[in-house]
């Protein structure tokens, strides 16, 4: 079985947030465990959560997570087209890892000019499929948005190009599973309808035996097999694709732990920076823009932002800026990451209108820095040393250049070539452009050290922890998925 090439498989959805990304990560790990060399692929992703490839190019974080599950380095061919929303109507368009400009949604989804993008995503798939097998493809949103059929780059037209077997993922937790699965299939063109080879019912709660009749009904009305009913899980931690889940992390401070508050910005990006902290037993992490909850934190982190000036304006308007300054005066730790680093400086300038109509705002003034927005984006993976600790890793994805307004200011980290990044005032006030800084145990220990008297827990090996989570996810999906039937489908039997 392992010597034969498998068809590409696409996980398509009855809607958004049905669990396609996590299931794709599970299949990447399962195929790897079974002796194959899988790779993930999503032609077009819309997310603020991105990641830098080893070559210093930008892709959606979900595909980087899936590549990690597959045990391979991520590349832009896994997500050739990334849309990063900058407002309700416009997005930055990142093609093959590099931004090509901001596009209005109406203009982007017009038929004109789509062929160039279609050729680019098809070429990326071709390159990937020459190196890996099978390709685990992910659709976007719902496959039954028939009003967008002529401009769709990511769902059934992509499956057609790749000659992929399509598995429809339906979320039973939100209700309407029969209608959404049946409707999604019946709205397809005849040739696309034939391509849908099965259904996975995801996020089931309760006793699966109670849904056995439901499985038979679903198979009868949809005329394809149900490959599995996957139970909802809470004890497996996989990085989320988008920030919808942050609404459920609006938690209050806790006694007996180090309380870390992440400022909930409107345009918060790269929130996976905090996944390592979230599973650290020493820490209680919560997201808030409530000024009272910020005052209860030991550590306040101002995170990355897709629209720094817009978020800085909002922080000043809603009183959060004043709450951060008050916390700093009272001896709390304040850390800025990327856009948060820019916000903690003395000023942010955007004379060229890179971000929008706000051209200048005073920052919070905790760091002696000035940031000027530029049209060129920095994306790269980095290795650095921090206060004598070498070999730490992270990545940069940012617009803007930050300069020191005072001499003799200590940098946050130093790169092997001698260049520096960030600004270090003291152990309780600092900022950096480096995402993933919190994945490094040495920095975590440094950050938590002033509050160590509150607890005694050992540090966490986050890389080993993530590998354990991928294995747990794979075991969970294996238990509830008809894997022999899936392999038969992917072998064309």
Residues belonging to the active site: 338, 435
Please answer whether residues 366 and 334 qualify as being in contact, where contact means their C-beta atoms are separated by less than 8 angstroms: yes
Q: Which of 232, 231, 143 is nearest to 182 (CA)?
A: 143
- β-partners of residue 394 are 382
User: H helices within 246-307, ranges in order?
Assistant: 275-278, 291-295
Burial of residue 251 (number of CB atoms within 10 Å: 0-12, 13-18, 19+): middle
Residue 331 structure tokens? 């001896």
d(CA 36, CA 27): 11
CB atoms within 10 A of CB 479: 11
Cα–Cα distances (Å) from 6 to 196, 333, 460, 492, 493, in that order, read 16, 52, 38, 8, 11
**What's the distance, Cα to Cα, between the start and end of the chain in Å?**
12
Kind and range of the H or E run holding 42: none
Cα–Cα distances (Å) from 22 to 74, 405, 482, in that order, read 16, 45, 17
Burial of residue 88 (number of CB atoms within 10 Å: 0-12, 13-18, 19+): exposed
Cα–Cα distances (Å) from 467 to 66, 71, 98, 437, in that order, read 12, 9, 29, 19
Residue 262 structure tokens? 């992440």
If DSSP codes are grouped into helix, strand and coil, which group holds residue 365?
coil
Please answer whether residues 204 and 229 qualify as being in contact, where contact means their C-beta atoms are separated by less than 8 angstroms: yes
Kind and range of the H or E run holding 342: helix 339-343
Please answer whether residues 375 and 352 qualify as being in contact, where contact means their C-beta atoms are separated by less than 8 angstroms: yes
DSSP state of 409: P
If DSSP codes are grouped into helix, strand and coil, which group holds residue 477?
helix
Please answer whether residues 423 and 367 qualify as being in contact, where contact means their C-beta atoms are separated by less than 8 angstroms: yes
Give backbone dihedrals phi and psi of 413, rounded to 5 degrees, phi first: -135, 165
Residue 41 structure tokens? 């692929």
Burial 388-408 (b: 16+ CB within 10 A, else e): eeeebebbbbbbbebeeeeee
- β-partners of residue 426 are 429
Give backbone dihedrals phi and psi of 291, rounded to 5 degrees, phi first: -65, -35
For residue 16, how many C-alpha atoms fall within 13 Å in the half-sphere facing its CB?
9
């Amino acid at each position: 079985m392992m010597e034969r090439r498998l068809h590409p498989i696409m996980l398509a959805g009855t809607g958004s947030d049905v669990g396609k990304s996590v299931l794709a990560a599970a299949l990447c790990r399962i195929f790897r465990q079974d002796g194959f060399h899988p790779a993930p692929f999503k032609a077009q992703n819309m997310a603020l959560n991105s990641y830098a490839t080893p070559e210093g190019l930008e892709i959606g974080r979900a595909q980087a997570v899936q590549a990690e599950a597959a045990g391979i380095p991520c590349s832009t061919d896994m997500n050739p087209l990334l849309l990063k929303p900058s407002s309700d109507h416009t997005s930055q368009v990142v093609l093959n890892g590099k931004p090509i400009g901001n596009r209005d949604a109406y203009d982007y989804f017009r038929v004109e000019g789509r062929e160039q993008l279609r050729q680019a995503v098809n070429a990326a798939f071709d390159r990937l499929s020459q190196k890996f097998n099978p390709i685990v493809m992910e659709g976007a949103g719902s496959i039954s948005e028939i009003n967008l059929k002529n401009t769709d780059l990511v769902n059934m037209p992509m499956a057609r190009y790749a000659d992929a077997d399509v598995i429809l993922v339906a979320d039973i937790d939100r209700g309407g599973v029969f209608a959404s699965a049946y409707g999604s299939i019946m709205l397809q063109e005849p040739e696309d309808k034939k391509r849908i080879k099965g259904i996975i019912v995801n996020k089931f709660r309760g006793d699966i035996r109670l849904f056995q009749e439901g499985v038979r009904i679903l198979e009868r009305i949809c005329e394809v097999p149900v490959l599995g009913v996957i139970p909802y899980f809470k004890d497996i931690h996989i990085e989320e694709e988008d920030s919808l889940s942050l609404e459920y992390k609006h938690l209050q401070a806790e006694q007996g732990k180090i309380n870390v508050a992440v400022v909930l910005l409107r345009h918060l990006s790269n929130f996976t920076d905090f996944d390592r902290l979230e599973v650290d037993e020493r820490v209680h992490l919560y997201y808030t823009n409530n000024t009272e909850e910020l005052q209860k934190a030991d550590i306040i982190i101002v995170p990355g932002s897709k629209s720094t000036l817009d978020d800085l304006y909002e922080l000043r308007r809603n009183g959060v800026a004043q709450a951060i300054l008050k916390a700093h005066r009272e001896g709390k730790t304040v850390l800025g990451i990327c856009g948060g680093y820019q916000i903690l400086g003395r000023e942010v300038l955007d004379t060229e209108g890179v971000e929008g109509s706000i051209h200048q705002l005073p920052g919070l003034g905790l760091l002696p820095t000035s940031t000027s927005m530029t049209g060129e984006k920095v994306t790269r993976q980095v290795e650095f040393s921090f206060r004598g600790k070498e070999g730490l890793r992270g990545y940069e994805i940012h617009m803007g250049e930050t300069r020191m307004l005072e001499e003799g200011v200590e940098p946050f980290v130093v790169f092997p070539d001698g260049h520096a990044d960030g600004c270090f005032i003291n152990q309780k006030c600092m900022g950096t452009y480096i995402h993933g800084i919190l994945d490094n145990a040495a920095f975590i220990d440094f950050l938590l050290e002033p509050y160590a008297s509150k607890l005694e827990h050992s540090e966490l090996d986050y890389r080993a922890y993530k590998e354990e989570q991928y294995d747990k996810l794979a075991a969970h999906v294996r238990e509830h998925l008809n894997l022999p039937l899936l392999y038969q489908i992917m072998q064309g039997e």
